[in-house]
Structure 1
Amino acid sequence: MRWPLALVPILAFAAAPAAAQCLLCAPGAAAGAAPRIGPTAETPLRVEIETQLDMGRVAVGAAGGEVEIDPVSGARRLRGALFDLGGFALSGVVSVRGEPGAAVRVVLPAVVDLESDSGRAARVTGLVTDLPPAPRLGPDGRLRFRFGGRLQVAGLDDGDYRGRIPVTVEYQ
């Protein structure tokens, strides 16, 4: 029995531009009124992808399957007709800098479609982070977090799948 090879690193993740609230557009902002001083007025957010999410290498059987990367441990779990061919599986790591102590909101998409060089597609779902429910930048204005997710591969789809996962970070 022959198994098609699916190389599934998910590379080239990009951070979406950090969002900030418009101080002059806020409800109740009067012309000539002094803008509210706060984290959005003083320090713009900077988002950097330190490590790209990589699902490693697997062989795919006719029924397909799923590769899951845990954001905390970086452990890889295979489900369905997938077989481990090694390689490094890595959770993604994001670094955020901004106003010390500020509350932030991190948004990851629900679904990301990936493509191989041959035009075949795979889907990443269930993106999660290791962040607490109400993340804040530390006293040094930094926050570092990991993210992982699930890659769904259909049977007989082989290739090197790549895509971008936008990571949006904004002040609360």
Structure 2
Amino acid sequence: MKRCLFLLAALFFGAPPAAAQCLLCAQDAAAGQGRKAETPLRIDVETRLDMGRIAVGAMGGEVEIDPASGARRLRGDLVDLGGFALSGTVTVRGEPGAEVRVILPASVDLTSGHGRTARVTGLVTDLSAAPRLGADGRLQFRFGGRLQVAALDDGDYRGRIPVTVEYQ
């Protein structure tokens, strides 16, 4: 199975988008069912996951970003301070028509400059059950998740969300 791994930064206060080529992909690695892939996988981050700005009260809470709509939902003792909440957007390029598998972790811990932590869970994409690269060798998808923040833990939380893409 051909595998490509890219670490996606989850920056929560508007850093510019990043783009990177997968350097772990080997052109001659086997791709599902004995077929050799002609084109290595390439991953470009178009938009980083951004939860916007919130204030956290004594009970803590959770911010959820829907991958399809980008809508932000607040639960618990949180106050919306505005800012743009964005679902992450990733473009995968490779062998036209090839089936791929996208893997996101179950959770990711983020840290603030003051050493506090917050956890992103429930990472999901807007992909179908069996995603394929288009006839142009391209597939774009969005992802979102839930940021869990403990009581009174303010800060600018940052971290990396590993996104793994494999040929099937």
Q: TM-score, normalised by structure 1?
A: 0.81
Tell me whether 1:91 sits opposite 2:87 in the alignment: yes
AA aligned opposite 1:171: Y
CA–CA distance in structure 2, aligned partners of residues 103 and 51 of structure 1: 23
Which residues in structure 2 correspond to 1:131-150 (within 5 Å)? Answer: 131-150=127-146
Q: Where does the alignment leave 5 or more consecutive residues of structure 2 unmatched?
A: 1-10
Distance 1:116 1:65, change over 3 A: same
CA contact (8 A) 2:51 2:72 kept: yes
CA contact (8 A) 1:19 1:168 kept: no
AA aligned opposite 2:56: V
Match of residue 22, structure 1, among 24, 29, 32: 29
Distance 1:18 1:161, change over 3 A: same
AA aligned opposite 1:96: V
CA–CA distance in structure 1, aligned partners of residues 13 and 58 of structure 2: 20
CA contact (8 A) 1:13 1:163 kept: no
**Cα offsets for 1:130-161 (capped at 9, x unmatched):** 00000000000000000000000000101000
The number of aligned residues is 154
Which residues in structure 2 correspond to 1:115-154 (within 5 Å)? Answer: 115-154=111-150
**CA offset at residue 13 of structure 1?**
7.8
Structure 1 or 2: larger strand share?
2
AA aligned opposite 1:80: G
CA contact (8 A) 1:124 1:151 kept: yes
AA aligned opposite 2:40: P
Tell me whether 1:66 sits opposite 2:67 in the alignment: no
**CA offset at residue 9 of structure 1?**
3.8
Q: TM-score, normalised by structure 2?
A: 0.83
SS at match of 1:61: strand
Q: Where does the alignment leave 5 or more consecutive residues of structure 1 unmatched?
A: 1-6, 27-35
| Structure 1 segments of 4+ aligned residues over 4 angstroms from their partners | 10-21
How much is the aligned-residue C-alpha RMSD, in angstroms? 2.5
